[in-house]
Structure 1
Amino acid sequence: MFWDEEAVRQGVIRETVEAEAQFDPAAFGARLRTARMRANLSQVDMSTLLDVSQATYSRMENGRIEPSRVTSTLLERASLAVSRSMTWLLLGSPVRDRVRLAARRTDEQDVRTQADRALGLLELDAELDDIVEFADLGPGVVDGAVWQQFVEAMPHASRRQGKERADHLRNALGLGIEPLNDIPAVLEQDLEVDAAVLDFPDGLSAVVAFDDERALALLAVSAAEPWVRQRFSFTHELAHVLFADGHAYDHDHRHSPTEMRAEKFAQNFLIPEGGIRAWMADNGYGTDDHVSRDDACRLADLYGVSPTTAWIALADINVAPKGPAPTSAGAAVVAGMLARYQARERNCHVERVPVRMERRILKAFRSGFLSAAATANALGQDASVLSEASAIIDDEPRTRGASGVPNLA
């Protein structure tokens, strides 16, 4: 047995005999390599931090180490070096295996590999749950999240269902017919759905992840997408959640009934018919008057949708301008909102993790459970900012586990 009793008493490994039986040197080495690379450390750095030779460390990463060499001291040092828990280093996490994924993608690459960024966040969030007894890291997953109250499967999909569900959700949440400036805030505050903007590989534009064990839903869109597309993707994926579609989908299913229902839900949630009617009245239009091209561009800017989406919404009530919709940049020029359009585009490509997770991760950093490099990696931010913050918080008391040993470095 290669973990000492003190480690067991600290709760690092709660089922020692079973844990030893599950230990896989090759998987341990792979996890160690992944964590090292994410922490921007070399093998030389790690061998120094673990107080072993570089050759020994190399054998560890290659899965050629005897279990008896994996001592609690070595685990503690490795945990501190790469900011992962000792349990994760030894046994991995069940999170990646149990999470259900649906993804909007344009190729046939393995979705779990493409969605690694989202899975990594869920994995870290679950790890933070394991150490709440040692530090107040803020809220975990909310039991009975609001979004679950609105889930209703409708197997025979139609566009009408999408529109009606969007109208119903707006009314139920008290959102009225006004423009929604911050879609992630609506998801997180009103529906208790985690929302993220993440760097995904080319070909992957959105991911929905369910961790049923933690009653958690995460919607993540690609940071490479334009601002209006990110907003539409968030609401499109929300439709799949609320209609319990729960399938992996790609470009081949673009015109399926469930996809068209989700498209209509997203359109009407972002730019509801009632909002269009009220806007038309405020701008001197009659019920059946066609909106001018310039005003349609201003309407698209007001509701934060693409010109194409605005044109479709106007066409649904037979008041669309003549001619095709312009590009988003062209519409911004016509609407006299070019500076705002450019500012939105600059800001939307920065990674954004869910606010709930960000608070917990930063609290873990301040409490000494996560290093600056690991925190920056988790948040998709520049490590230099956190390094500067370290100088400020170094004098603050750090919360550690029993006997001063942290569960996350």
Structure 2
Amino acid sequence: MRMDLQQVGARVRRERERAGLTQRELAELTDISQPTLARIELGTRPRLTIAELDRLAMAIGVPLRELTSGSPVRDRVRIAARTAGVPAVALEAALRRAVDILVLDERLDRLVHGGRPSAAGIRPLAADLSLPDPSASGEDQGRVLALAVRRLLDLGGAPLADPAELAERLAGVDTAVVDFPAGIDGFTLTDPVRAVTLIVVSTNAVTERQRFTYCHELGHFIFGDGTETHLLDGGRTSAELRCDAFARHLLAPQDGIRAWLGVNGPGGESAFDERRCALLARHFGVSLMVILIQLERMGMITGRQVERLRGPSGAQLAWRYGWGPQYAGKQEISRTVRPPQRVLERATTAYQAGKLGIRVLADLQGQDPTVTETALTAAGVIPEPPRIRRADMHRLLTRTRSAAPLQHPSREQEE
């Protein structure tokens, strides 16, 4: 088997660090000297046998193929990255961080007994929904589906407490807040083999934007839009507009707006000044623009009023009208990395069993390893000591009969 040993070495180093092992510890577990292991990780050792790689894989706790060929999860994950104007490097970095969560989730299937738990241990409810008439306008489809979700969950016209929790409960998906580069609000990833879907939003997005993104992506999931049709380049597809409508009506339903207005004074065009619209936006946890669009579609304000009132950010409105400190507190929470609860729970179980390193949990939570370890120790989560695992020699002999040593293509003549 002929492969690029620099790539193999990089995988060994990455998986060793994720397992929380130093080079010296891994060397002791595998009977490979530390200098030799250092050369393997750098890709400067001209020869590497299957037996050596198998010992490394067993000690780290990953399948051999992930060291030789990379993760199959990365190759099969489908990504709906609905972004435009984002530099390719930034987008790739964001996608890599999100895919890492699904790679870890798949790895935990092997490390944690008992299977992968469902959201809240309950059957997803999305299967009970009927999709709207596809011949209707995108606005009407989004509105009808949002109202169906609200009826299914008996929400009436009340604000949504937690759109992320709603997505998990309704569709059985995982949700996360990840530290993405600026310009990326979030996207959806699906592992088709394991039937796992992850909705991720960015720490750079303000709270109201995170809420809208969760609902927007949930709309794509329920409508079954897939991924390919939503890779945008400056425009917005009909599916995008339909899910915008779904998110608007799910977060700020027209009946809920009417109910709020009924309690808070009469309507009429003259009644909708900036303060009143800001209060409405705060009540439903959405941006000012979402409220303005809803009011215009309800015939309560004109397009001219929308243009006059649009512009201020949520922070500006909050500080103008008296809830600035509360708004700042919510934004602090929105800037905190939050991994999927199910993934973090299983990762913690694997860590306590000594099968996963502290670095993995720290990276998952966007923390320094020392901070994570201190918190886990205080909670009584202390890992078992690592155990030396030996390779199955019968299995290795069977493999090596048909596999030659790994070599650099350019170093085939070296020792």
- d(CA) in 1 for partners of 2:56, 2:257: 64
Q: CA deviation at 1:109?
A: 1.9
How many angstroms apart in 1 are the aligned matches of 2:370 and 2:359?
9
Distance 1:227 1:394, change over 3 A: closer
Aligned residue for 2:293? 312
Q: Distance in 2 between matches of 1:367 and 1:46?
A: 18
Q: Which amino acid aligns with 2:47?
A: I
Q: Select 1:364's aligned residue among 350, 355, 360.
A: 350
Quote the residue 2:188 is aligned against. Answer: 208
Distance 2:365 2:130 in 1: 30
Contact 1:253 1:259 in 2 (8 A): no
What residue is the counterpart of 1:9 in the other structure? none
Alpha-carbon shift at residue 143 of structure 1 (Å):
9.8
Question: What is aligned with 1:109?
Answer: 88
Q: State the alpha-carbon separation in 2 of the partners of residues 161 and 292 from structure 1.
A: 30
SS in 2 for 1:104: coil
- Residue 409 of structure 2 aligns with which residue? none
User: 1:376 — aligned with what?
Assistant: 362
Letter in 2 for 1:355: Q
Residue among 331, 334, 346 paired with 2:317 = 331
Out of 169-178 and 120-129, give the one that drifted further: 169-178
Inter-CA distance 191–401: structure 2 relative to 1 (3 Å threshold): farther
Identity of aligned residues (%): 29
Higher deviation after alignment, 111-120 or 341-350? 111-120
What's the counterpart of residue 8 of structure 1?
none
In the alignment, is residue 162 of structure 1 matched against residue 142 of structure 2?
Answer: yes
The structure, 1 or 2, with the larger RCO (C-alpha pairs under 8 Å, 6+ apart) is 2
Moved more, 247-256 or 137-146: 137-146
Q: Please tell me whether residue 58 in structure 1 is matched to residue 39 in structure 2.
A: yes
Q: Which amino acid aligns with 1:300?
A: A
Residue pair 1:300, 1:310 contacting (<8 A) in 2 also:
yes
Residues 25-36 of structure 1 aligned to structure 2 (within 5 Å): 25=5, 27-36=7-16
Q: Which residue of 1 aligns with 2:281?
A: 300
- Name 2:404's counterpart in structure 1: none
State the superposition RMSD in angstroms.
Answer: 3.6
Structure 2 residue 335 is the aligned partner of structure 1 residue 346: no
Distance 1:330 1:56, change over 3 A: closer
The letter for the 2-side match of 1:119 is V
Q: Distance in 1 between matches of 2:87 and 2:144?
A: 33
Q: Distance in 1 between matches of 2:48 and 2:388?
A: 28
Q: CA deviation at 1:58?
A: 2.0
Q: Contact 2:190 / 2:197 at 8 angstroms: preserved in 1?
A: yes
Relative to structure 2, which stretch is displaced further, 168-177 or 315-324?
Answer: 315-324
How many angstroms does 1:205 deviate by? 2.3
Counterparts of 1:187 and 1:240 in 2: how far apart (Å)?
12
Contact 1:367 1:398 (8 Å CA) reproduced: yes
- Partner amino acid for 1:388? T
Stretch of structure 1 that moved more, 396-405 or 315-324 = 396-405
- Structure 1 unaligned segments of length 5 or more: list them: 1-20
- In the superposition, relative to structure 1, how do residues 347 and 146 fare at CA in structure 2: closer, same or farther (>3 Å)? same
Any idea what SS the aligned residue of 2:190 has?
Answer: strand
1:125–1:169: structure 2 CA closer, same or farther, 3 Å change rule? same
Q: Following TM superposition, by how much is the alpha carbon of 1:388 offset from its aligned partner in structure 2, in angstroms?
A: 1.8
For residue 196 of structure 1, give the secondary structure of its aligned residue in structure 2: strand
Identify if the C-alpha distance between structure 1 residues 32 and 336 changes in structure 2 by more than 3 Å, giving closer, same or farther. same
Other structure's SS at 1:214 match: coil
Once the two structures are overlaid, the 10-residue window that deviates more, 226-235 or 186-195, is 186-195
What is the Cα deviation at residue 104 of structure 1? Answer: 2.1
2:227 aligns to what? 247
State yes or no: 1:124 paired with 2:104: yes
Confirm or deny: 8 A CA contact 1:372 1:383 kept in the other structure: yes
Are 2:262 and 1:267 aligned?
A: no
Separation of aligned partners in 2, 1:308 and 1:57? 55
**Shift in CA distance, 281/109, structure 1 to aligned 2, threshold 3 Å:** same
Alignment partners' CA distance in 1, 2:254 and 2:388: 58
Cα offsets for 1:279-303 (capped at 9, x unmatched): 0111122588743321211110111
Query: Please, what TM-score do these two structures have when normalized by structure 2?
Result: 0.78
- Determine the structure 1 residue equivalent to 2:397: none
Q: Counterpart in 2 of 1:194? A: 174
Q: Which amino acid aligns with 1:89?
A: L
Q: 1:251 to 1:214 in 2, by over 3 A?
A: closer
Q: Distance in 2 between matches of 1:131 and 1:385?
A: 24
Query: Which residue of the other structure, out of 70, 90, 94, is the alignment partner of 2:72?
Result: 94
Q: Which amino acid counterpart does residue 107 of structure 1 have in structure 2?
A: V
User: Counterparts of 1:220 and 1:155 in 2: how far apart (Å)?
Assistant: 30
Amino acid at match of 1:335: Y
Aligned letter for 2:224?
A
Which residue does 2:117 correspond to in 1? 139
**Aligned partners of 2:192, 2:222: CA distance in 1, in Å?**
15
TM-score, structure 1 length as denominator? 0.79
Give 1:38-57 correspondences, 5 Å limit. 51-57=32-38
SS class of match (2:233): helix
The one-letter amino acid paired with 1:324 is: L
